[in-house]
Amino acid sequence: MIELNFLLIISLFITGLLGLFSVLSFLNQSPKEKPPFLKEKYVWYCSICTYTYFTTKDKIISTCPRCLSFNKKIIDSK
Ligand SMILES: [Zn+2]
């Protein structure tokens, strides 16, 4: 017969709870919206030094933080 002591029961219970929570959190995952700074209009590519940077300001022209050159946003008309 398998001998069950108090610590074994508690550890099995905690392990079961952790497994249940991890399965539930995995099942709860839904395709989330991208964070605002990852939206395409905030991602800039410097045409001079090819540096990729983010700015949350909704502007047509921004300044590259690396080479300080001005970049114009190319808006796709899809
Ligand atoms: Zn640059």
Tell me the mean pLDDT in the region 36-59.
83
Domain boundaries, the chain: 36-72
What's the 46 CA to ligand 1 centre distance in angstroms?
5
65: three-class secondary structure by DSSP = coil
What's the 35 CA to ligand 1 centre distance in angstroms?
24
Q: Quick: pLDDT tens for 4-30.
A: 788 888 999 999 999 999 988 888 876
What's the 62 CA to ligand 1 centre distance in angstroms?
10
Cα–Cα nearest to 43, from 7, 74, 21, 6 = 74
Where is average pLDDT lowest: 18-22, 62-66, 74-78? 74-78
68 pLDDT higher than 90 = yes
Strand partners, 43: 54
